[in-house]
Amino acid sequence: MEALFAELKNQIGLRRLRLRRMKFVREQFFLAAAAQNIKRLVRFLSQVPRPPLAATA
């Protein structure tokens, strides 16, 4: 969990918030979290599928 917040802080730019009211801070955080999730989804979908492992008896 802390790694996700660290990524938001360091790579996405939430070290300091640009807006002051709680409503706007919440919106800014949700947009940053959505960007982070889209980035992770693209990384996941671009992986090459691995062949299934054979079952050993």
Low-confidence ranges of the chain (pLDDT < 50): none
What is the extent of the structural domain holding 8? 2-45
What integer pLDDT is reported at residue 21 of this predicted model?
A: 87
Residue 31 resides in a domain:
yes
Residue 8 resides in a domain:
yes
Residue 22 resides in a domain:
yes
What CA–CA distance (Å, rounded) separates 48 from 9? 29
Identity of the amino acid at 13: G
What integer pLDDT is reported at residue 41 of this predicted model?
A: 94
Residue 55 resides in a domain:
no
Specify the number of domains making up the chain: 1
Task: Write out pLDDT tens, residues 36-50.
Answer: 899 889 999 998 887
What integer pLDDT is reported at residue 8 of this predicted model?
A: 77
Q: Token match 């918030």: residue?
A: 17
Render 15-56 in DSSP notation, one character per residue.
SS-S--SHHHHHHHHHHHHHHHHHHHHHHHHTSPPPPPPPPP
Q: What tokens does 17 get?
A: 């918030």
What CA–CA distance (Å, rounded) separates 44 from 26? 27
Residue 52 resides in a domain:
no
What integer pLDDT is reported at residue 56 of this predicted model?
A: 67
